[in-house]
Amino acid sequence: MSTNHMNRDEKLWLETPLMLQPSQSFKYRGISHFAQHALRMHGQGVHLIIASSGNAGIAAACVAKVLKLRCTIYLPHGVSQPTIELMRREGAEVVVTEGAYYSQALQCAKAAVEAEPKAVMVPGYDDPILWEGHASMVHEMQRQLLDGIKPDAIFCSLGGGGLAGGIIEGCKAVGWDDVPLVGVETHGSNCFYQSLSLNEGPFVGEVASRAISEGTRAERNVEHDVHIAHLSSLPSKATSLGASSPSAAIVKKALERKGGIRSVCIPDEMAMQAAINFAEDHKTLVELACSATIAPAYKPSVFRKFVPESASGANSVNVILVLCGGFKVSLADMEEYRRVVAADVAAGGDWVVAYNGDTFAASKV
């Protein structure tokens, strides 16, 4: 659907799985695709196991119900009750592990898969089958835009990079490899940005001269010949982004594609403000991980840094914002965001936005 709430000169297209995908996020594409693959490979007795802090688990539960497969979700401590209830309502077994970190849940899930011959691990984001499923959205987008219109940019959120992987593969398939991809994270959860920084690529300056954040460990991934950052903590409230390291394969693909990668980090508060604006404009509640993608569009001066002009030289720009969706947002959350943003705006000053190794100030209002 198109919207013109935000800018008069740009046409902003919203790809929205929010209410539409059965599990209320884009993850249903790749994860249902993977589940069907698992069913074909292992038969009806296959037991789907996944470690998740929410949306991937919900997607697995939903598809397992449709395919009539057993599904067990390993969650770290702290996942909200409505999320757990939704998983159970879909027929999945839920195991809440002792630790508060995703990696601990992942450990338990792996152990469970080892212990059971019929068990299959459903990956959260780092698998070509997942990306193939996610890529379906690009085929849809191309069909939904008339007359061969090619977007001047596609925006998406970056957690582990699964969504970006699907978009990159999909773009290649439909002849959009040269379409700029703007990947948005928050400062407190930016493993993709930090990984790009460790490599030759679109970031400014020499690799050797770029600072590495405290608590970050650099690693060279041999298989994909790319450097990856491992973050020790993820303080951002956009918890669904929550990956301490991204898919190495996707980081590599992002660096190699013709349209490049424009890697952006914003403050949590800016994502909150976008979530509020989006709720007022589109009557839809989105998680912070999702509103991060919309945030640049609500600040024209920021937006124009990422999409300065139309590739075709036309007067107006066509941009697609991929709204990844997500179940983990409530009216109470929105109220909290309103409070936090109001206080932050009242405190004055500007927000800092990072873009391909540079930072600039963005007005809070």
| C-alpha span between 319 and 225 (Å, rounded) | 32
Q: Which is nearer to another protein, 40 or 143 (CB)?
A: 143
**Local structure of 222: helix, strand or coil:** coil
DSSP 8-state symbol, 240 = G
Report the residue number, 77 or 89, with the smaller CB distance to another protein: 89
Angle between helices 268-282 and 331-346 (to 10 degrees): 120
Residue 14 amino acid letter:
L
Q: Please, which residue, 20 or 207, has the CB nearer to another protein?
A: 20
What lies within 8 Å, CB to CB, of 83 at 6+ separation is 54, 57, 58, 327, 328
Helix 27-42, helix 162-174: angle, nearest 10: 90
Integer CA distances (angstroms), 233 to 5, 193, 239, in order: 36, 15, 11
Please report how close the Cβ of residue 270 comes to another protein at its closest, in angstroms. Answer: 18
Exposure string of 184-194, with b = 16+ CB inside 10 Å and e = fewer, is bbbbbbbbbbb
CB of 35 to another protein, least distance (A): 17
- Least separation in angstroms between residue 286's CB and another protein is 7
CB-wise, 24 or 356, nearer to another protein?
Answer: 24
Minimum Å gap between C-beta 143 and another protein is: 6
Q: Which two tokens stand for residue 43?
A: 């038969």
Nearest approach in angstroms of CB 331 to another protein is: 6
* Nearest C-alpha neighbor of 54 from the set 290, 277, 228: 290
Cα three-residue angle 302-163-200, rounded to 5 degrees: 65
Instruction: Please say whether the beta carbons of 81 and 328 come within 8 A.
Output: no
Of the pair 8, 68, the CB lying nearest another protein is at 8
Q: Is the Cβ–Cβ distance between 46 and 147 less than 8 Å?
A: no
Instruction: End-to-end CA distance of the chain: give it in Å, rounded.
Output: 26
Least distance from another protein to the Cβ atom of residue 38, Å: 22
Nearer CB in complex with another protein: 321/329:
329
The length of the chain is: 365
Minimum gap (Å) between residue 93 Cβ and another protein: 17
| Closer residue to another protein in complex, CB, 146/365 | 146
**CB of residue 237 to another protein, shortest distance in Å:** 17
What's the burial of 45, exposed, middle or buried (CB within 10 Å: 0-12/13-18/19+)?
A: exposed
The distance of closest approach from Cβ of residue 4 to another protein in the complex, given in angstroms and rounded to an integer, is: 6
Tell me the pairing of strands 70-75 and 93-96.
parallel
- Nearest residue (CB) to another protein, 50 versus 62: 62
Nearer to another protein, 89 or 258 (CB): 89
In the bound complex, what is the minimum distance in angstroms from residue 329's beta carbon to another protein? 6
Closest residue by Cα to residue 364 from 287, 267, 286: 267
Residue 246, token pair as written in the block: 């991204």
Binding site for another protein (CB under 8 A): 1-2, 4-5, 8, 11, 16, 18-20, 22, 24, 62, 86, 89-90, 143-147, 149, 276, 279-280, 282-286, 327, 329-331, 334-335, 338
Q: Which is nearer to another protein, 18 or 50 (CB)?
A: 18
